[in-house]
Structure 1
Amino acid sequence: MMLQIQKKLNYKNNTLKRIILLNSLVAIFCTGLFAFNVQDKYISNTKNSKLLLKPINDLNDEEYDKFMLGRSFFTVPWVKAPSITTARDGLGPLFNANSCISCHPNNGRGLLFSSENIASRAIVARLSITSDNSLEHKEVLNKKGYIPEPVYGNQLAINSIFGVDFEGKVNIDFEEKEILFPDGEKQILLKPKYSLKELNYGDFHKNGIVSYRIAQTLNGMGLIDLISDEDIIANEDIDDKNGDGISGKANWVYSNITKKIELGKYTWKASVAFLKEQVAFAASNDIGLTTTIFQDENCTKFQKTCNEAPKAKDIDLPDNRLDAITYYLKNIKSYSPVKTKEYKDGFTLFESISCSKCHISSFKTNLGFEIYPFSDFLLHDMGEELSDGRVEFLANEREWRTAPLWGLALHEKINKEKPRLLHDGRARSFQEAILWHGGEAENAKKAYMNLPKEQREKLIKFLEEL
């Protein structure tokens, strides 16, 4: 009798173990399947010139309507106030472009030159002056991260509404610099000699600083929001404790949304914490639109006609429209290449010369799927050759956020030409961009230069497909 009872207990225990194991396997399978399905919702492997204009999969009717509303405010030109087009008036008085899409063609990276072979609207001049360490300057640094140029403000405005003088124009020029590889190959680099001209409001400050920035691709902008702060901070090594020469640091910045210090993730120097704040920042500086985040017109006290220009309403871009644009950018499709054999071979080379120590290939999002930005979103010293002389919060003159490499493969599809790389568009190719690297990236650059030419070409091909 006892033997029969024991057999029954053993049978029940084994059955229970099988059920638990089966449920575990189902959970693991479903979790993996969920992550795969969600990844497919956000990311496409199709290299298409219109990809970044498409919404992610499976938006419901209400979500799609909000997406399309955001797209309309992103793409349709704004007009000056007052206007019968009250939903879109408020342009300027000073501005660079009258729409977001002007600087981000098909939501991609901007062009350095216009069709007239002059500086395009996608290259902007960010303005500041050196701090004098006064209490006033320290307070401004705490909130803005830099000291604006007194007469011209945060950014040079190349356009203006009728009756207001624009601020000036950007002139682009280069001088050539030859680099010789150990194997004898020569590469000509273009060293920028950018300048400002036609300044309509008087002389620039004697301690003025100009940093030229090209508009980045919007590929993956919403996906950055899905990376936890902890995962980014985990890659910090400020004191280079592991001795590899790489000492990335986070940029902690003041947010006008939360009114406190946050982790910077956006812009060339990681000086903005949230996508919504970046949209509002661009709306103010590039189009001259006020928001509840940045409520002041971009006129300085020295610009009388700008300050007296007509204004139709208190806020040009109200919260519901600002939220719609942010929602649109968060929900556009992103590009990531297929992991072919050529990709894997190129990635092996990429890792072998330590590029991946800063351009970290992947992060896991808080939705459980992998994304491949090829950035650690941290600041790195890039050497004197790439210094712009400008401080933004904790980012010093030589420090830049590791530029994400994803989506650059779409540029040639969109614009019929290769992207101009680095913050100011000086590099005409990935090889040129690598050769400008210095500071923490000096050893990686030298390792690249010492690769056999065949391997260098293989690595460049890999980068061009990201």
Structure 2
Amino acid sequence: MMLQILKKQNFNFSIKKLILLKSLVAIFATGLFAVNNSSDVFTEKLSKKSIFQPIKGLNNKEYDKYILGKSFFRIPWVESPSATTARDGLGPLYNANTCISCHPANGRGNLYTKNNTISRALVVRLSIKNDNSKEHKQIFEKVGFIPEPVYGAQLSINAVHGVKFEGKPNIKYEKKEVVFPDKEVATLLKPIYILEDLNYGKLHKDTVISYRLAPTLMGMGLIELISNEQILKNEDIDDKNGDGISGKANWVYSSLTNKLELGRYTWKASVATVLEQIANAMHNDMGLTTFLHKTQNCTKYQKECNEAPKDLKYEFDVPKHRLDSVEYYLANSKVYKPKEDKEFKKGLELFKQVGCASCHITSFDTKIGKIRPYSDFLLHDMGEELADNRVEFEASGSEFRTAPLWGLALHEKINKKKPRLLHDGRARNFQEAILWHGGEGLTAKKNYMNLSKSKREELIKFLGKL
């Protein structure tokens, strides 16, 4: 039964290394990866379209590829069959019909819509515990988790005509007060997850549910420029230096290379490359097939889904050259870089003093110069209160990748509202996000709480500039 579920995930384990090598040769020959001047990549302009623009220096052919990728990112997909053959294939089960629905202007997703309903940018990831059977071991080796038997890896809130959607997420909150040493009181919101209108029956009794808010797509290509060595030098699995921080890499199976690779993307660093992350999102969020996900996003229990009409013009809903163009678009879009004036540098020193920079390390050196994602791209135990109990490859239920902080300043410009923070969007502001830190983040949290109110405000102001 579980082997059928693996079909829904559709990790293509037969892709040869040669495919990746050819892809990398093409990428490194053009665009961002051929740029040696960081001024062509970064922008200090703080506007809605700051990171929705191409880097400088693309030739006509490169620019055409960039625009093609942008069009497939922002123009809606439709269900099959359709006269719009370049963009049909949506579903049968899906969450959104465009990438931009969850990543407005390439930025972070919103937790709520203008009507105060749950946004499509919040997805529900589903899995069950690994029972260590032979079947589960085979699945886990390649997928990194065991999908829920009936609903698969992710709950789909929409469906095409004639197919039932899977369900709808909702959230309630319990209030929790935190008292500072100076007697200030902060109120946190502890989420209670609710799944409604489950159209395919009850979930497996051991189902683990994790809500995930869409992160920014800014700098996806730059992250691939960071060498493995630079990331791994910050590992300290056994906390040999005794600082209470023991970051570790997540080694994940790549269907491009057919081997374990260093995970860099997703909330648990469970994906190794930009191309795989895009293909995963297309499959899980929009029900689109690619050479990495060849079958529809249906389990064997979903009869109407499996029998839904398919586009027969192309082998996949998204042929490889179109998938490559979306990758090219994301890798060659501008990256916001704040002005590092005197006030910024003062805030940065406080950021380091508190201990935030122990995990949100401030820079990496790359071929285009220094970049500042404010992440070490390693897994850290964030404590019981933030734990989602979901395992992904080597990431435990309480471990998360250090979330990159770059681009936070853009959210309000893009959406006219402040960003919701942490993996499930529970934090309404930067202070709440800090106060949820436990485990390896506990010392930094305590240091922050022990600051004077004016210093706390100074640090919060700095975070708002990133």
TM-score, L = length of structure 1:
0.92
1:336 corresponds to? 337
2:351 corresponds to? 350
| SS of equivalent to 1:196 | strand
How far apart in 2 are the matches of 1:214 and 1:100? 14
1:395 matched to 2:395? The reply is: yes
Contact residue 126 and residue 154 of structure 2 kept, 8 A: yes
How far apart in 1 are the matches of 2:329 and 2:106? 11
How far apart in 1 are the matches of 2:324 and 2:300? 30
1:199 corresponds to? 198
2:288 corresponds to? 289
For structure 2, the residue ranges without an aligned partner over 5 or more in a row are 1-33
Contact residue 118 and residue 172 of structure 1 kept, 8 A: no
1:181 matched to 2:180? The reply is: yes
1:292-320, Cα deviation, whole Å (9 max, x unpaired)? 01112110000000000010133101100
2:24 corresponds to? none
Counterpart residue type for residue 426 of structure 1: R
Residues 358, 152 of structure 1: CA spacing in aligned structure 2 closer, same or farther, 3 A cutoff?
same
2:411 corresponds to? 411
Counterpart residue type for residue 329 of structure 1: L
Contact residue 121 and residue 213 of structure 2 kept, 8 A: yes
How far apart in 2 are the matches of 1:319 and 1:194? 37
For structure 1, the residue ranges without an aligned partner over 5 or more in a row are 1-34
1:379-436, Cα deviation, whole Å (9 max, x unpaired)? 0000000100100000000000000000010000000011000000000000000000
Q: Which moved more, 1:214-223 or 1:397-406?
A: 214-223
1:441 corresponds to? 441
Deviation at 1:342, TM superposition (A): 1.0
1:59 corresponds to? 58
Structure 1: which 4+ aligned runs deviate by more than 3 Å?
none
1:461 corresponds to? 461
Residues 36, 135 of structure 1: CA spacing in aligned structure 2 closer, same or farther, 3 A cutoff?
closer
- Equivalent positions of 1:82-121 (< 5 A) are 82-121=81-120
Deviation at 1:368, TM superposition (A): 4.0
1:179-214, Cα deviation, whole Å (9 max, x unpaired)? 100001110001001211000000011000110000
1:5 corresponds to? none
Contact residue 231 and residue 378 of structure 2 kept, 8 A: yes
Contact residue 222 and residue 275 of structure 1 kept, 8 A: yes
2:27 corresponds to? none
Contact residue 36 and residue 368 of structure 2 kept, 8 A: no
How far apart in 1 are the matches of 2:209 and 2:319? 31
2:372 corresponds to? 372
Deviation at 1:263, TM superposition (A): 0.4
2:45 corresponds to? 46
2:304 corresponds to? 305
Contact residue 36 and residue 369 of structure 1 kept, 8 A: no
Counterpart residue type for residue 391 of structure 2: V
How far apart in 2 are the matches of 1:342 and 1:193? 39
Deviation at 1:172, TM superposition (A): 1.7
1:325 matched to 2:326? The reply is: yes
1:421-458, Cα deviation, whole Å (9 max, x unpaired)? 00000000000000000000111100000000000000
| SS of equivalent to 2:409 | helix
How far apart in 1 are the matches of 2:172 and 2:328? 38
1:255-296, Cα deviation, whole Å (9 max, x unpaired)? 011111100000000000000000000000000000001112
| SS of equivalent to 1:380 | strand
| SS of equivalent to 1:230 | helix
| SS of equivalent to 2:174 | strand
1:157 matched to 2:156? The reply is: yes
How far apart in 1 are the matches of 2:97 and 2:345? 42
2:258 corresponds to? 259
How far apart in 1 are the matches of 2:255 and 2:36? 35
1:72-122, Cα deviation, whole Å (9 max, x unpaired)? 000000000111111101000000000100001111100001122111000
How far apart in 1 are the matches of 2:38 and 2:193? 41
Contact residue 68 and residue 326 of structure 2 kept, 8 A: yes
| SS of equivalent to 2:338 | coil
Contact residue 81 and residue 88 of structure 2 kept, 8 A: yes
Larger of the two Rg values belongs to structure: 1
How far apart in 2 are the matches of 1:393 and 1:291? 23
1:29 corresponds to? none
2:138 corresponds to? 139
- Equivalent positions of 1:411-430 (< 5 A) are 411-430=411-430
How far apart in 1 are the matches of 2:417 and 2:75? 25
Contact residue 252 and residue 264 of structure 1 kept, 8 A: yes
Counterpart residue type for residue 254 of structure 1: Y
Contact residue 126 and residue 210 of structure 2 kept, 8 A: yes
2:8 corresponds to? none
Counterpart residue type for residue 406 of structure 2: W
1:148 corresponds to? 147
1:326-377, Cα deviation, whole Å (9 max, x unpaired)? 0000000000111111111111111111110100010011x14000000000
How far apart in 1 are the matches of 2:181 and 2:295? 54
What percentage of aligned pairs have identical amino acids? 63
| SS of equivalent to 2:62 | helix
1:214 matched to 2:219? The reply is: no
How far apart in 2 are the matches of 1:57 and 1:427? 36
Counterpart residue type for residue 362 of structure 2: S
How far apart in 1 are the matches of 2:461 and 2:412? 14
2:75 corresponds to? 76
Deviation at 1:37, TM superposition (A): 6.4
**CA RMSD of superposed structures (Å):** 1.0
How far apart in 2 are the matches of 1:40 and 1:62? 21
Please identify which structure carries the higher helix content: 1
Deviation at 1:36, TM superposition (A): 10
| SS of equivalent to 1:189 | strand
How far apart in 1 are the matches of 2:222 and 2:84? 33
